[in-house]
Structure 1
Amino acid sequence: MRLLLLSTLLCLAHAQLHKPKNVLFLVADDLRPQLGYFQDSADFPTPVHPRMHTPSLDSLAKRSFVSRRAYVQQAVCSPSRTSLLTGRRPDTTHVYDLESYWRKVGGNYTTLPQYFKQQGYRSIGMGKIFHPGPLASGNDDPISWTDPYYHSEEEQHWTERKHSWYAVPEAERQAHPLPDDQIAEHAINKIKELAKDPSQPFFLAVGFHKPHLPFIFPEKFMDLYPSDRVNVPDNIYAPRNMPDIAWSKYGELRSYTDIEELHASGDINTTLPIDVTRDLRRGYYSAISYMDHLLGTVVDELMNQGLGDNTIISFWGDHGWQLGEHGEWCKHTNFELSTHAPMMVSIPGMTDAGMVSEKLTEFVDLFPTLVDAAGLPTMPLCPADSTKTELCREGESWMPLIRGDGGQWKDRVFSQYPRDNSKIMGYTMRTDRFRYTEWVKFRDYKPEWQKLFGVELYDHKIDPEENNNVAAAAAYAPATKQLSAQLRAGWRSARPDDPRSVRYDADAWPIFQHL
């Protein structure tokens, strides 16, 4: 009898030890890394005041692997999300806009939730994960989910608002719950349901809409950011010597009635009035704190249901956002503020004490990271032509960084943004010290490097706000030549184990204070 009991206990212990890890997959929209846990970081290239109130994300960061230098592959919703969720870059997915569906223009690529579904997970999605609608994702890519996809019932009421920001009185919120309120409530109910069957692993994706325009949030969150404490940018001018092609006229923001009434042109070296800039920044901050609060209620419910010890939690924002720096707004550029976004992963038993990485990472890294963290079959590297390859990756798993295995890591990361209906492509590369960009003719999904429309080089060691384009400065000619070769060689040559990998010491180049 004792042997039988001991055998049973050992079997239960073995089953618990090897139980598949769940995944709680959290997403925010248009979120630059201006968050509480970034407050003291030198990696955020703009003065931050007042201190951001994000207690839920701060708490999650303390038990996560936090990449403080994570970069998106393209700074707009659908291309960025498609890239992350397929593990492939825009030139592979062929998604550069809000209307193209990768399964139609790229290939029948397996997505992150679809892969977990194939591995026996219950895959559940809600809110904004893929870019929604019939064009960009075939209505949220149904093949990726085991359960019917959920969108909030009040979206139409709130999307009809024409003001760029709105602080919602509590009475109106009760009459018409905000979409993110309903998404959080749905997520909490799903967690309660999932807890009833602990034998079934799940992949639960929760996509919050905020702080995306319009900045709509319960009015109480404005109390966190008194108007007289909200600063405006100290660099309301475009970067010196910036090529015109790098600029976006922020039509997304100018389409709102209150901004349209200002007759803002969006032209280079114009900006919005100071009071409008301050109000927009205050509204954006309040929307972030509102999203953070809801995210906290979802994570708390996961813990309350006893699922925390066996659930990986990832969080990311789909790209950064410009709040008047350089006189620029929204995303749609290759600047640091557009391409830099928050990303973290909490893995029970591995990141409990918190880990902060200053390594350069990319959003295509998350898919293979979650696969490895969950103990699923590892994804192969994509071949040069992966059109017919359903499952592969163009990023690197973070697990060697999390385990501290040592070895080299990539020293440069890549983003891009199209112009002129994708006839021109801006390819940008971030190294430890520099951001280097070439705007080139683009045809048949390939760059024509010799047909240049502009070059940018920003030295973050002396110019973290990217105020001075030094690409044409003679003193930077050696750096420009090296960076151009690395950019054109592409992401494969940046992989540590690639024989073509060309690495250099960022401090080898002198600092030039007077240009």
Structure 2
Amino acid sequence: MWLMQAFTLILFFQGSEARKNVLFIVADDLRPEIAAMHDNEAYRQMHDKMYTPHLDAFTERSAVFKKAYVQQAICGPSRASFMTGRRPDTTKVYNLDDYFRNVSGDFTTIPQYFKQQGYRTLGMGKIFHPGSSGGGNNDRPSWSDDEQYYNSPSQRNYWYPRHNEKSWRAINESLEQEHPLGDQELTDHAKATLRRLAPKAISGEENFFMAVGFRLPHLPFIFPERYLQYYPQSDIKQPSNPYVPQNMPGYAWHYNGEIRNQYADIIDLGLSGRPNTTWPSELVLDLRRAYYASVSYVDTLFGQIMEEVDGLGLRNNTIVMFGSDHGWQLYEHTAWCKHTNFELATRTPLMFRVPGLTDQGLMSSHLVEYTDIYSTLVELAELPAVPLCPQSGPTPQACTEGTSLVSLMSNPNIPGKTRVFMQYPRNRRDVGPLMGYSMRTDRYRYTEWVTFNTTTSTPDWDLMFANELYDHSIDPDENVNRAEDEDYDTDVDLLSAQLQAGWRAALPNY
């Protein structure tokens, strides 16, 4: 089988004289809650009746990486990371305010690199985090001109009038027609833009890199009411683990501030952000249901864009990537949102539809990282390769700290990365700035909470305040921290050494 796939790769590159366009689509806060990715054994917290027909169809002709991990589970830092191909300690973006070009370097982003290679680059919706972390202008250097970035009117007002009244809202049809939802406006603009770009793209006169960023399923969950029909209340279940992990260090917790402090319906309840705080059962079920409905709404909008691509004749010369900035927690461990190093916060879908290469579809269980996207898209588009960023000395403006996934697409039997890395900062009054460095292997998630120098963006591994070890072979929901279990002493020693050695020591041979 792998020989056939390798032959397909050769034909892909030999038979692709014309450049391919790139359609780069990201959702916000999307865990792998897609029907085609559901696995009763491996992902027990996933809803087993998701309605995502368009994304499911997309997987049939795509390379789907089921174990894809972001480098920090919060919007701004994650997007700064994968858009530059560099990790948070290089971008120095750990919050929603800092702009990588100001705090670290004038790095070349993915669309900026394509622009330098002669592509027309266009952005719309949420690609970089809005506001100061995107330079106040959605990272102007990434796009071909000032007219090439679009935010819908509803998106500029952050979804809906008086959005902070409620954490979720199902909009009836008449209200939807009166006030179109932001992601539908975004989709309509994306379709109109594709129609405008198609003639030159098909003729080869001008190729495009077009980035589309949905805001859903980010809070508040505002979606058309009709999507609730796919999720009868009787089908919605509580998570199996509404309690924090046994032996969890306090540094791993994040107090659920994003949902507790912004929406009146939650604020009025006066819920504590402490671990193991019990939330009203009806509210938990309503929020989970609203999240699922929001995912299905994004699926429909994604399907509209794919239908436009195919109808315009762009299918055979356009690479389509779909992903998100991180996952999301739906009351598992009594946690909401992201802001942790847990599995559900750091893992998210990653798919590539590549004409001539992924036509038969591929479900990969390789461990991959979002820093891999940059070099993958560059190789798929047959542009000059972007080098690995050097460990010391002068750093090119265009380099990555990830590796291309094209080899895994052509030969899924080759070994990939044995471990991938992510991190999350904390600041505690008693100890000051900390960084939780986390590493995922096929079997384990291992994390160390260490003192962090915010000036140099470096850890002091000798000042470790806590560590975590979750054994996914017997505990896929990460319910028991086994770092202090003497039966795992040898594993902890090895994993600690691998974590501290960092991502460079884990680079694969492909």
- Normalising by structure 2, report the TM-score: 0.92
SS at 2:481 equivalent = coil
Aligned to 2:5: none
Aligned to 2:484: 472
Contact 2:127 2:211 in 1 (8 A): yes
Aligned to 1:512: none
Aligned to 1:328: 335
Match of 1:206 among 197, 200, 212: 212
Aligned to 2:162: 160
For 1:433-472, what per-residue CA distance to the aligned partner results, in whole angstroms no more than 9, with x for missing partners? 0000000000020000111121000000000000000000
Larger Cα-atom Rg: 1
User: Superposition pairs for residues 70-469 of structure 1, below 5 Å?
Assistant: 70-147=68-145, 148=147, 149-155=149-155, 156=157, 158=160, 160-162=162-164, 163-197=166-200, 198=202, 199=204, 200-255=206-261, 256-385=263-392, 388-404=395-411, 407-420=414-427, 423-443=433-453, 444-469=456-481
For 1:402-459, what per-residue CA distance to the aligned partner results, in whole angstroms no more than 9, with x for missing partners? 1118654210000000001881000000000000000000002000011112100000
SS at 1:185 equivalent = helix
SS at 1:316 equivalent = strand
**2:498 matches 1:483:** no
Could you tell me which amino acid in structure 1 is paired with residue 115 of structure 2?
A: K
Counterpart Cα distance in 1 of 2:415 and 2:473:
22
Please list every run of 5 or more consecutive structure 1 residues that lacks an aligned counterpart in the other structure.
Answer: 1-13, 499-515
Contact 2:27 2:324 in 1 (8 A): yes
Counterpart Cα distance in 2 of 1:172 and 1:394:
46
Counterpart Cα distance in 1 of 2:412 and 2:128:
33
User: Cα distance, 1:357 vs. partner?
Assistant: 0.7
Using a 3 Å threshold, how does the CA distance of structure 1 residues 457 and 117 change in structure 2: closer, same or farther?
A: same
User: Cα distance, 1:387 vs. partner?
Assistant: 6.8
User: Cα distance, 1:15 vs. partner?
Assistant: 12
SS at 2:234 equivalent = helix
Using a 3 Å threshold, how does the CA distance of structure 1 residues 167 and 138 change in structure 2: closer, same or farther?
A: same
Counterpart Cα distance in 1 of 2:135 and 2:348:
22
Using a 3 Å threshold, how does the CA distance of structure 1 residues 212 and 386 change in structure 2: closer, same or farther?
A: farther
Contact 2:408 2:414 in 1 (8 A): no
SS at 2:295 equivalent = helix
Contact 2:154 2:182 in 1 (8 A): yes
Structure 1 segments, 4+ long, off by >4 Å, are none
Using a 3 Å threshold, how does the CA distance of structure 1 residues 462 and 169 change in structure 2: closer, same or farther?
A: same
SS at 2:150 equivalent = coil
SS at 2:160 equivalent = helix
User: Cα distance, 1:344 vs. partner?
Assistant: 0.6
Counterpart Cα distance in 2 of 1:332 and 1:366:
22
Counterpart Cα distance in 2 of 1:106 and 1:301:
39
SS at 1:390 equivalent = coil
Aligned to 2:22: 23
Could you tell me which amino acid in structure 2 is paired with residue 458 of structure 1?
A: Y
Aligned to 2:9: none
For 1:185-210, what per-residue CA distance to the aligned partner results, in whole angstroms no more than 9, with x for missing partners? 00000010111212211101110000
Counterpart Cα distance in 2 of 1:52 and 1:222:
11
SS at 2:222 equivalent = strand
SS at 1:217 equivalent = strand
User: Cα distance, 1:277 vs. partner?
Assistant: 0.3
Could you tell me which amino acid in structure 2 is paired with residue 253 of structure 1?
A: I
Counterpart Cα distance in 2 of 1:160 and 1:310:
43
For 1:200-256, what per-residue CA distance to the aligned partner results, in whole angstroms no more than 9, with x for missing partners? 111011100000000000000011101111011111010000000100111000021
SS at 1:139 equivalent = coil
User: Cα distance, 1:159 vs. partner?
Assistant: 6.1
Counterpart Cα distance in 2 of 1:388 and 1:360:
27
* Cα root mean square deviation, aligned: 1.7
User: Cα distance, 1:386 vs. partner?
Assistant: 7.0
Q: Quote the sequence identity (%).
A: 50
Aligned to 1:8: none
Aligned to 1:513: none
SS at 2:366 equivalent = coil
Contact 2:237 2:285 in 1 (8 A): yes
Please list every run of 5 or more consecutive structure 2 residues that lacks an aligned counterpart in the other structure.
Answer: 1-12
Using a 3 Å threshold, how does the CA distance of structure 1 residues 41 and 300 change in structure 2: closer, same or farther?
A: farther
